[in-house]
Amino acid sequence: MATDEKPAEEPEISPAENVIEETRIYRISDPSALIFRDGDDPQVEGPIVPYGKWTEVDSVIEGHFMERFAAGSLTKSLTESFNRVKGYFEHGKSRMFDRTPIMEISETWDTETAPFFRARLLNGLPEWMVDGIRKGLYGTSLGASPIQVQRERRPKASDHNPKGIEERTYTELRVSDISLTPAPHYDTPVVLRSITDELAVEALVQRPDRLLELIRQANATEPQHSEPTPAEPEEGPEEEKESRRTRARHDYLSTEEGASWRL
């Protein structure tokens, strides 16, 4: 029997787009999931990312979308390139440690809910840092490059995606490092949080052309309100007039909205 209904669009599966330089994303887990084992040979262990859980990403650099990590999406990389995965502090971007590893990743294993890791902290770390890890002030964060991404650009609104924004499911990623990262303070608890913007700011400052491009893109995508804008009072002859075109709508480098947690 003929029907006029159009078949549902299949999610697009394609190589990951270059959302940032080197296509690298950074995600931090809930600090409460990190386990610290004290003693003569201090170790940390915990989940790297949760499998199958949707998380909203609203990033100046990456965009605005829902994402989840498919079960087994890190398995190939952790198995075949285990010796290349580094144990950094802040993904090797800390001013204090730079790209010097602070822990030796000794083991990774997969479960149905998440991939896990275990690492031995290197000798000589500052006592305040070890104390912070002991007190749960640091979370596990992943640095990885998406290899295969399943994308649904116009999904219907749903319980996990009430806004109907783009959905991305990572089916394969190349893991570059597993890091310890100071946990940012958020109003609501989350299982995973993008910290790509925070870690990329310093690199973008070195490329002002790229930074300005991202700011222009963010401004261009702001919603246009239908409500009339109240008339501004006329400026006196002694007041300096400022062109609306040059007024900054957002200060993307401001730290007023949240305390800086980078060291």
Which pLDDT tens digit goes with each residue over 87-97?
999 999 888 89
DSSP string over 33-79: G-EEE-SSS-EEEEESS-BS--EEEEETTTEEEEEEEPTTTTHHHHH
Which pLDDT does position 244 carry in this prediction?
A: 39
pLDDT at 14 over 60: no
Return d(Cα 173, Cα 72) in angstroms, integer: 10
Per-residue confidence band for 61, with pLDDT thresholds at 50, 70 and 90: confident
Which pLDDT does position 191 carry in this prediction?
A: 59
pLDDT at 215 over 80: no
Give the pLDDT confidence of 107-120 residue by residue, as tens digits. 999 999 999 999 99
Structure-model confidence comparison of residues 248 and 166, the more confident one: 166
Among 240, 245, 235, 129, residue whose Cα is nearest residue 180: 129
Domain contains 141: yes
Domain contains 258: no
Q: Structural domain tally of the chain? A: 1
Structure-model confidence comparison of residues 201 and 154, the more confident one: 154
Cα 87 to chain center, whole Å?
Answer: 17
The region of weakest confidence among 24-33, 146-155, 169-178 is: 24-33
Domain contains 231: no
Q: What is the mean pLDDT of residues 178-185?
A: 81
The region of weakest confidence among 25-39, 68-82, 129-143, 175-189 is: 175-189
Give the pLDDT confidence of 110-163 residue by residue, as tens digits. 999 999 999 999 999 999 999 999 998 898 999 999 999 999 999 999 999 999
Domain contains 114: yes
Percent of residues in the chain assigned helix, strand, coil, to nearest 5:
20, 30, 50
Give the structural domain span for 62.
Answer: 12-211
pLDDT at 257 over 50: no
pLDDT at 262 over 80: no
Domain contains 182: yes
Domain contains 93: yes
Domain contains 164: yes
Structure-model confidence comparison of residues 120 and 21, the more confident one: 120
Note the pTM of the prediction, 2 decimals: 0.67
Helix, strand, or coil (residue 14)? strand
Across-strand partners of 167? 66, 152
Return d(Cα 140, Cα 260) in angstroms, integer: 18
Per-residue confidence band for 226, with pLDDT thresholds at 50, 70 and 90: very low
Which pLDDT does position 32 carry in this prediction?
A: 85
Structure tokens at 262: 């980078």
Task: Identify the helix (H) or strand (E) that includes residue 219.
Answer: helix 208-220
Domain contains 248: no
DSSP string over 121-161: EPTT--HHHHHHHHTT-EEEEEEEEEEEEEEESSPPP-SS-
